[in-house]
Each structure stands twice: as C-alpha cells, then as structure tokens.
Structure 1
Amino acid sequence: MCVEAIPPPPGRLTRRGVLAGAAALAGTVAAAGPAAASAGPAPAGGRHGGSGSPARQGYLVIRGGTLLDPATGEVTEDAVVVIEDGTVRAAGRRDRVAVPRGVEVLDAHGRWVLPGLVDAHIHLSTAAEARDAVRKGATSARSGSTAFYQDIAVRELARHSPALAPRLKAAGVFVTPDLGDTVLADPDLTPLARLKDGVRSAEALRRVVEVNLDRGADVIKTRVNERAGLPEQDPLAQVYSREQLAEIVTAARRRGKGVLCHSYSERGCHDAVTAGIRSLEHGAFVGEHTLREMRRRGTFFTPTLTAIAGLAESSDPVLAERGRAYLPVLKRAVLAAHELGVPLAAGTDSSGGAVDPIGGEVALMRAAGLPALDAIRTATTGAARLLGLERSVGRLARGYAGDAILLSGDPLADAGVLKQPVEVVRAGVLT
C-alpha cells in the first residue's frame, strides 16, 4: 500500500510524452483486446439480447433490473436505463421510459443495477491495473500517487478509451521527505537529490507541488506519518509538522487544487486537518477532537479499510500483528466519523499490481457499523463529491455518466455482492 518505488521508464519524460504515451498505450491494449476496447457497443441480439437489427452506435439500454439510486435511496423494480454517447438520457420504471428502437439491450432481469463505483484512493501504474480496476467495479477513481506520473497517462487513456481505465483524478508523485528514484520522474525534481535532509524546507515542498501541477496533476498527495506497510517503519512517527503541511496546502491552493494526506497518529491527523488538507487517508488513530474539526471544515475521511485488513493477512509477522491491532481501531474511527457527520469516501489503496475490488471496501464500511445505504454512498455520491464529480458520477440519472454495475443480489441486504459485479458498464460500453 502506498508503494513509492517503481522502476523509471526510459528516456526523458515530458507532459507531451505522457499524453502521447497514453495514446500509444491505449492502441496497444486495444489491439490486444479489440472486443473490450471497442468504443462502440457489441452487435445486438447476442447474449445480451436486442432487437435483431444492427445496434445504433453509442447507445446501450439496461433493461429489467432493480435500480438503486444512492442519492435518494429509491429502489425501482423492472427499471430501464438508457445511455447515449456515454451519458444517461433516461432512467426509471420500464413503463415510463421510452426505449429507442434498434439499440443494444443488456438484460438485467434478476440483477440489481447501481452506478459505477468510485475508488477514492488507488495506485494505478499500468494499463493492466487500470483495466482490472474497471472490471472490478471502479469506473471512477482518485490516484494516491505514482512514482513516475503513470497516473496522468492513465487519466488520458481513460478519456479516449473509457472501457480501459477509470475516470481518474491524478496525483502525480508523492510529496514525501525521501523521494528516492522519483527525483528522476522530472528534470525539475533532480536538484532535490542533493538536499541533505530531503524534501523538508518550504522551498523544496513548494517545488514538488509545483512540478506536479505543471505536469497536470489534479490533486496533491503528501504524508504526515511513516508507512504501515513497511515493517521497519513506525506508522505513528511523524515526518512533517503542521507548518510544513500548511506549505504544501498553500502551494496547492494557489493553483486551485486540494491535498490528500497519508496519516495514522492522532497528533499527525490533527496537524494535517488544521493545515487545511482536503481528505485524511488511513487515519487509524484519529480521535474525536480531530473528527469534530473535520466535520467543521468539511474534511473527508478515506480510511482504506481494505489495506489495513490486508496487513492482517500478511506473511510478515510484524505487519500481520499491526493489521490485527489497527483494523478494529480503524473500524471504530469510521463509525465515530459517520455518527459525527464527517464525510466518508471509500478507497482500497490498491497498488503493486494487486487491485482490490472497491465493493470490498463498501462491505468493510458496512461491517464497521454504517447502515447499508450509507456504506454504498461512500463509493458513490460521497466519493463523487470528494472528487468534484457530484454532478456527473454516483447516480444513474439523466445527465450523469453512463457507468453502471450489475449485481447478483440486493446490496442493501448483503454488501458482499458488491465485491463481484456480474457486469460492468463504462461510458455505455460493456467492459
């Protein structure tokens, strides 16, 4: 989790090169999997049904399922969702929605239909990881950083080949004291390699933020504590002060961007929140005092329960014990946050090629004590608001993105069904 060391790509990396690389990457993946990469729908009349005539390009109708609107909690049986050019044109009861003739139809009888889910903390460094995330239900996401700006390329890949990657808010590289080989991610970062104490001065902190934003990052990722996923580190040890975090926040805000902050200790969490971060990540030992401050400021909490639960299953005895100790504490923090009215967002902290289903994070939110609908909202309407996508993501309503998941059962009765979507639709295309 929060992996920072990935071998650098060859040659000099520029913003233009990132975008060109994304286009080339998309072409390569599309060639390897033409059916999945196709921008248009499959012919009608196949396993998903249809009118028997050639399907109209850009259209998909999801018909016959039970539709859940996370915003209102309304459940509509025998529903129809009409998607045109990647956008929902109509949704509601079958007898009240006109279905265009000659379109591809996805038969959803016996299935529950939900909007595509949002993973608010994920590390996507390859095309394979991006596609895997979509197939597991994450049709939108926010990056938790990558070592060499791969997330910016994934974002561009998603823009012109949406079936291959989630709609993504990219974070660029981690603002952290020891950049390691990440100083090679951009020539403007290389002078930082000579700093004896690492990225700690106000000037150095601003430099990393500014390089990220010049590269096109949508958000900034930093930390206040060491990592939980490395046995030699102490997750409660603080690496940046409130003043240093405030420098990062101020530099990001000058360009209209927010900051997400890796954190564990109560003191670290409080320093991060009062420094003005947009969202607190992990936050196992966040206390009531800080949670109340988060509610006052509207700071989001992204607990990444999946990552902490994963530690408990580690073969390393230090990490396994850490996970077992932290998970129940974090679950209590999640429930306390919910009860106090702190906005919650679901995130898996997936990294290193192992993409966890975002539906599993929702199930863990439910296990922490959230009501089923509120747990679902952490990966739909709530996470969409954190990403600034609340007007286009998180619902299947007119004008929203044509992203959907079909489930084998009722997620309000069993959140576990969210872990394995039966079908995933991204921008009106079956993935």
Structure 2
Amino acid sequence: MVKGGYVYTFYRGVIEDGIVVIGDDGRIAAVGRADEVEVPPGSDVIGAKGAHVIPGLIDAHTHIGVDEEAVGWEGRDTNESTEPVTPHLRAFDGIKSDDIAFREALEVGITSVGVLPGSANPIGGLGAAVKCFGRNKLEMLIKEPIGLKMAFGENPKRVHGVENKRSPSTRMGIAGVIREWLVKARNYSRKKELFKDQPEKLPDVDLRLEALELALRGVIPVRAHAHLADDMITAISIAKEFNLRLVLDHSTEAHRIPDIIAREGIPAVVGPLMTAKGKVELRGRTLETPRALANYGITLAITTDHPVVPLKLLPVQVALAVREGLPFDEALKAVTINAAKILGIADRVGSIEVGKDGDIVVLSRKPFDIESRVLYTIVNGRVAYSLEEARR
C-alpha cells in the first residue's frame, strides 16, 4: 500500500492525501483519499506523505533487450538484414532479460516498454510488450505480438540498396515490396477461407504470410517507422489501401501534417528527441512536435528509441517537450495511458485504477521536474527499486 501522497489519476484528477491499495495478486485493489479507503489490517505501507504517486512510465518504442547495452556486437539482435522481408521474426525471441538497461529503467520509474525489431527491413517483424522487472523474459512478458514493424525511408534504402546492392534501393521500391507482400498475404488468407472445409486444398503454412495476415485482419497494428512527412503519407496511403490499423513511429515531421494524422485517427509515437541530427531525415526535428500533435487531439506517445537515446532519459525528453508547450496532463499521458493504448495493454497498465497491475512510481517532486527523484518503483505490487536501498 502507498499512503499519503498526491495520487495522479486520469479519471478524478490528482487525489491529495491519497492511498493506493495493492492486493496479494499484485493488482490495484483500491484508490482514493485516506478517509475513503479501508486499509486491510496487516498491510505493508510505503509512506508517501508529500510525495507524488504516478502510474509506472511506459516507452512505446524501444529496442531494449534486443540491442543490449555494454555488450557490443554480440548483443545486437535488432535487425535481420540478410533479406528485406521478415514479418515472421519476433522481437521477443531476441530479448536478453539481463540487459542492464532494464535495471536503469526502474531507477527512473519506467515499468513497461514496447520492444520492436529495427528499421533495416521494409517489413521487419513482430513486437512485444514487457515489464522491466522479472526473473526472465517470460515472467516479464505482458503481450505479444503488439504490432508488425514496417520501415519507410532512409534506413531500408541504405541497408539494402547501398550496403548490399539489392532491392529495394528507393522509396518506390520500399512501398512496392510492402504492397507486394500484403497482396500475397491477402490472397493466402482468401485461399484459407475458400478451402477451410477442404484441407487437402489448403495452402502450406507460410510463417511470413501468417504474420502479415494478423495485420490484414486488424488483430495488430502496423508500426510504421517514418521520419519525413512524405514517408508518413506513404504509410498512411498503404494502410488505407489494405484497411490496416496504423501507428506512426518517430513521426519527426508529424508537425507538418497534423491535420492528416488527426483526420485518419492515427496515433503517433514521437522521438527520439535528444540526438544530433545525424541524417537527412532529422533536419526537421523540433521539440515542438509533441505540442503540435496534442493540439490536434492526436493520441501521442514519446519515445527514446532506446538505445538511440538511453531509456533512462525518457523523463528528460518529456520535460523538454513540456518546456516547449506540451501541456503537463498530455505529457504524463504520453508516457503512461497513451503508450499503453498504443501497445494494446491499457487493460493492465498505464493508469492507477482498480483492477490494473500494481505498477506505481513514488516521486520526491512533481513528475518531470529535473530535481525529482524516484523514491520507489513498484511493479506487480513488488518494490522493484528503492532509492534508500540503492544508496546503501
């Protein structure tokens, strides 16, 4: 139980002198003011008087575990760039739960992350959502798959066209490959339906087409790596052609087309925001993009793209976006409930509500204050990080 702080909820604002009770099952059992909530006898109490209690933070787009810190090439399992179309690959298979970045994430209050394949391939593979705390990756797993990675623009052009001298080598080629394989998957799906009562005529199982079929059926969204506004428009066009659910990832120039993104009802994951502009696609990056999207009512998340920016700097990126005009409430949502919705895990995490996982962070000051420290990070009702213990 966490007692006595300012509890940030999205359904009744900030509760002063609040209490959050977590049951033995690791889920939130009660939330409210001290005079509203009955505290079970014998409860373990974390005193939070004067502190700020928020949902565990979530980064919706990372490569944590598949691009392991402090290991070098052996820890890089982000891209299977030996061929351009790999929808059947699963980021979960590449996660190393001993990645030190998981521990560092807990130190700043990050409790859940989306893990995606990299952007070398036009169609890269399936993502997963995991907790940052657990004995192994199976214990950490929240949900998979959470999306099908596709990539537009410079990265697939460079990896396949420049470095390997093969197709695709242009933006036209990238879009063409994606359309070609979506058509193959659509035909595959139609054959399965047509011959469902004639097993001898069913097509052989094709893992690539099975993965693409998940996106065609709307089971999972396409997670589209796109920096330039024009590449985002290509992704949106393909999504409309094939009736795909779409999430825009990176969204560097999304401030140029917020009306289009809002009209289509597409969520946008923005970032990373703290790197040098090391390639042409980043020329238009600005810290004002989150504010511009929030002003249009777009479901917004903010990402580090870890390890491009270390995951532990997620709160700093959000603070910079707030400085540039992103409203505080929208900033907090961007790394909690909005990120959870984008990952398809909002039924479990992203807000302090009865029935959700006990993923809670206790801060010394208001969220995104540069002097604020994490006092406790709680995952599934267990203390995963304590500042007091860390200082011993």
Using structure 2 for the length normalisation, give the TM-score: 0.67
Residue by residue over 1:169-192, the C-alpha shift from the partner in whole angstroms, topping out at 9 and shown as x without a partner, is 55xxxxxxxxxxxxxxxxxxxxxx
| Residue number among 341, 344, 353 corresponding to 1:385 in the alignment | 341
Does residue 273 (structure 1) correspond to residue 243 (structure 2)? The answer is no
Task: Tell me, in whole angstroms, the C-alpha distance in 1 between the residues paired with 2:136 and 2:38.
Answer: 26
Instruction: Determine helix, strand or coil for the equivalent of 1:348.
Output: coil
Which range moved further: 368-377 or 131-140? 131-140
Q: In 2, are the aligned partners of 1:262 and 1:280 still within 8 Å (CA)?
A: yes
- After TM superposition, the structure 1 = structure 2 runs for residues 411-430 of structure 1, keeping only pairs within 5 Å, are 411=367, 415-416=369-370, 420-430=373-383
| Residue number among 82, 107, 115 corresponding to 2:47 in the alignment | 107
Change (3 A) 1:254 1:285: closer
Q: In 2, are the aligned partners of 1:116 and 1:405 still within 8 Å (CA)?
A: yes
| Residue number among 190, 197, 215 corresponding to 1:253 in the alignment | 215
State the percentage of identical aligned residues: 25
Q: In the comparison of the two structures, how many residue pairs are matched?
A: 303
Structure 2 runs not aligned, ≥5 long: 66-95, 163-169, 187-211, 240-244, 385-392
| Residue number among 171, 183, 201 corresponding to 1:238 in the alignment | 171
- The residue number in structure 1 matching 2:387 is none
Task: Tell me, in whole angstroms, the C-alpha distance in 2 between the residues paired with 1:73 and 1:144.
Answer: 33
Change (3 A) 1:156 1:415: closer
Partner amino acid, structure 2, of 1:132: E
- The residue number in structure 2 matching 1:337 is 293
Change (3 A) 1:354 1:366: closer
Task: Tell me, in whole angstroms, the C-alpha distance in 1 between the residues paired with 2:293 and 2:268.
Answer: 8
How far the C-alpha of 1:150 sits from its partner, in A, is: 11
How far the C-alpha of 1:218 sits from its partner, in A, is: 3.1
Partner amino acid, structure 2, of 1:219: G
Task: Tell me, in whole angstroms, the C-alpha distance in 2 between the residues paired with 1:381 and 1:98.
Answer: 27
Does residue 67 (structure 1) correspond to residue 7 (structure 2)? The answer is yes
Q: What is the CA RMSD across the aligned residues, in angstroms? A: 3.6
- The residue number in structure 2 matching 1:394 is 350
| Residue number among 297, 308, 328 corresponding to 2:264 in the alignment | 297
Partner amino acid, structure 2, of 1:82: V
Residue by residue over 1:192-218, the C-alpha shift from the partner in whole angstroms, topping out at 9 and shown as x without a partner, is xxxxxxxxxxxxxxxxxxxxxxxxx33
Change (3 A) 1:120 1:114: same
More helix by share: 1
Task: Tell me, in whole angstroms, the C-alpha distance in 2 between the residues paired with 1:368 and 1:275.
Answer: 33
Q: In 2, are the aligned partners of 1:301 and 1:343 still within 8 Å (CA)?
A: yes
How far the C-alpha of 1:402 sits from its partner, in A, is: 0.5
Using structure 1 for the length normalisation, give the TM-score: 0.61
How far the C-alpha of 1:281 sits from its partner, in A, is: 1.2
Instruction: Determine helix, strand or coil for the equivalent of 1:394.
Output: coil
How far the C-alpha of 1:151 sits from its partner, in A, is: 7.2
Does residue 327 (structure 1) correspond to residue 285 (structure 2)? The answer is yes
- After TM superposition, the structure 1 = structure 2 runs for residues 71-90 of structure 1, keeping only pairs within 5 Å, are 71-72=10-11, 74-84=13-23, 85-90=25-30
| Residue number among 27, 31, 34 corresponding to 1:91 in the alignment | 31
- The residue number in structure 2 matching 1:40 is none
Instruction: Determine helix, strand or coil for the equivalent of 1:309.
Output: coil
- After TM superposition, the structure 1 = structure 2 runs for residues 119-138 of structure 1, keeping only pairs within 5 Å, are 119-125=59-65, 126-127=96-97, 128=99, 129-138=101-110
Change (3 A) 1:338 1:430: same
- The residue number in structure 1 matching 2:274 is 309
Instruction: Determine helix, strand or coil for the equivalent of 1:294.
Output: helix
More strand by share: 2
Partner amino acid, structure 1, of 2:226: S
Does residue 346 (structure 1) correspond to residue 279 (structure 2)? The answer is no
Change (3 A) 1:382 1:150: closer
How far the C-alpha of 1:156 sits from its partner, in A, is: 9.2
- The residue number in structure 2 matching 1:364 is 320
Q: In 1, are the aligned partners of 2:57 and 2:112 still within 8 Å (CA)?
A: yes
Change (3 A) 1:423 1:134: same
Partner amino acid, structure 1, of 2:262: R
Task: Tell me, in whole angstroms, the C-alpha distance in 2 between the residues paired with 1:118 and 1:68.
Answer: 15
Which range moved further: 139-148 or 391-400? 139-148
Partner amino acid, structure 2, of 1:347: T
How far the C-alpha of 1:86 sits from its partner, in A, is: 1.2
How far the C-alpha of 1:346 sits from its partner, in A, is: 2.0
Residue by residue over 1:132-158, the C-alpha shift from the partner in whole angstroms, topping out at 9 and shown as x without a partner, is 323332212211226999976x84996
